[in-house]
Amino acid sequence: MSLFHPTGPRVGSLLSGSIRQAAMTVARRDHGTPSESDGAPASTVVEARTSGPSAAPSLGPSFRSSEVIRVEHLAVSYRRSDGAEVRAVEDVSFSVREGEFVTLIGPSGCGKTSLLRVMGGLLRPAAGQVYVNDVLVKGPMPDAIAYVFQDFALFPWRTARANVEIALQLKRVPRGERRRRALDALDMVGLAEVADRFPRELSGGMQQRLAVARALVSNCGILLLDEPFGALDEQTRLVLGVQLSQLLESAGRTIVFVTHSLQEAVFLSDRILVLSHQPCRIKKTVEVPLPRPRGPDQVKSPAGQRIEAELFQLLYRESLV
């Protein structure tokens, strides 16, 4: 399947739904029933922090089943080199529905990456908690969450194929199946021809697609993308943005995307969370009701322009503070 292959809006979500269902079932089996993790642990961690209800606000029980990610009163701190503790993220709560594309946007250095890393279990929060498929996130969850990093994090001594295979190798997938699935994933992003090349022999855009292929190969229901186009030039960004949106729509994954490009955010998202400067809080949630599949003209449409202008206003005021 080529990247440029036109696909209907969210058709793929029907196809891969069963896979995700399976992943959820496995996760539940490992960590007990969902009811266990629903309310009880929240109070124990949250009480150390500021006030606030222990359940995620404004979300009725009817939504529960389709909520794949639930972030509750999350706070992240880090220690500066002079020893001072800095709050990067403060009291952030939101949830992501199955198959939804949510973008985190905010001024640079506002803690977007920290927030995403906590969601992926790569960083410990100072307070609050994240649930993925109703399971409390305590560490990396390679069966449920795949990550694309800002600098792609490709292994320079491994070929493109071996870079994709590593995700499967760590799950002890047999060699033959590993190879086949890696080639399939490379084919999906249009890199089948360069499967035996090393990352340094690929262009920036190709490296980015390789990183996406590696995230797709493990069939995780959730993709966390940390400024995946950050290191690319403007033209490549635009082309890849179009390709990515088509690819991800067809794959039907739940996606949380970090960016500081307004255009990208409008073009890709179902919902945009505008974050404030340090400490990072959710300033506003902006829905993007543009129809899918989206092309570059959709972003240029009056509705798209309006949303972009609103985002700009929000962020402009934020950066003046």
Partner 1 sequence: MTIGTRLMGSRVFIGLGLLCVCVAVWQVVTAVGGVNSFLVPSPAAVALVLVSVLTTGTTYSALGTTIVEIVAALVLAGGFALAIGIPVGWHRLTQHAYEPLLANLAAIPLVILYPVFAVIFGIGPLSKVAFGAATAFFPVVLAVVSGVAATNQSLIVSARSMGARGLTLLLITAIPSALPVIVSGLRLGLTLATLAVVGGEFIAGTQGLGYLLASAGEAFETKKVYAYVVLTLLLAIGLNVAFGLLVWLSRKVEER
Q: Which residues lie near partner 1 (CB under 8 A)? A: 117, 120-122, 140, 142-143, 145-147, 149, 151, 153, 155, 157, 166-167, 170-171, 218
143 DSSP assignment = T
Local structure of 91: helix, strand or coil? strand
* Residue 140 beta carbon to partner 1: minimum distance, rounded to whole angstroms: 5
Instruction: Decide whether 107 or 120 has the Cβ nearer to partner 1.
Output: 120
Tell me whether residue 93 or residue 163 sits nearer to partner 1 (CB atom).
163
Of 72 and 165, nearer to partner 1 (C-beta) is: 165
Q: Could you give phi then psi for residue 126, rounded to 5 degrees? A: -80, -30
Residue placing its CB nearer to partner 1 in the complex, 222 or 242: 222
Q: How far is the CB of 117 from partner 1 (least distance, A)?
A: 8
Q: Which is nearer to partner 1, 117 or 237 (CB)?
A: 117
Q: How far apart are CA 30 and CA 132, in angstroms?
A: 13
Q: What is the DSSP letter of 232?
A: S
CB of 74 to partner 1, least distance (A): 18
Any residues with CB less than 8 A from the CB of 179 and at least 6 apart, and which? 161, 165
Closest to partner 1 by CB, 15 or 170: 170
- Token digits of residue 13: 């979500």
Which SS3 state, helix, strand or coil, does residue 96 take?
strand
Toward partner 1, which CB reaches closer, 132 or 272? 132
CB of 139 to partner 1, least distance (A): 8
- Helices 234-251, 12-31: crossing angle, 10 deg rounding: 70
Find residue 75's DSSP bridge partners.
127
Whole-number minimum distance, CB 100 to partner 1, in Å? 21
CA distances from 136 to 33, 53, 230 (A): 11, 18, 30
- Please give the full DSSP string across 20-66, using - where no structure is assigned: HHHHHHHHHHHH--HHHHHSHHHHHHHTTS----SSPTT--GGGGGG
Strand extents, DSSP E, the chain = 67-79, 85-97, 101-105, 127-132, 135-136, 145-148, 222-226, 254-259, 271-275, 282-287
> Measured from the CB of residue 179, what is the shortest distance to partner 1 in angstroms?
14
- C-beta closer to partner 1: residue 149 or 267: 149
Tallying the residues shown for the chain, one arrives at 321
Q: Cβ of residue 278: shortest distance to partner 1, in angstroms?
A: 22
In whole angstroms, the minimum distance from the beta carbon of 216 to partner 1 comes to 13
